[in-house]
Amino acid sequence: MKVYQINYDLRNQRNYQDLISKIKSYGTWAKPLESCWLIATEQSASQIRDTLASVMDKDDGLLVTRLHGEAAWRSLDYDTDNTMTNWLKEQLQKAA
């Protein structure tokens, strides 16, 4: 599996529900920060972009970046019990 980071800016209509549903449909996901998601998938960055763009407005921004094993982080949202940290370490290890 490959691990990707997804960042977005929903600018005018801000339809978060459809975008979040699409991201969660990948099955293996985490949300470390407010507008940042991580997913594990066999798809390419372009395929992910096209899938997510199908529920976004033309003026919304989207960045899909593949992670390759090395990462550093601090004070991730919702990580009071290290669940996010453990998920990230595990997925990056698989992707290395």
Express each pLDDT in 50-78 by its tens digit.
999 999 999 999 999 999 877 888 888 77
Give SS3 for 70: coil
23: which 2 tokens?
């991201």
Q: What is the pLDDT of residue 84?
A: 86
Query: If you average pLDDT over every residue of the chain, what do you get?
Result: 89
Query: pTM (2 decimals)?
Result: 0.85
pLDDT at 26 over 90: yes
Closest CA to 37 of 23, 52, 25: 23
pLDDT band at residue 37 under the 50/70/90 scheme: very high
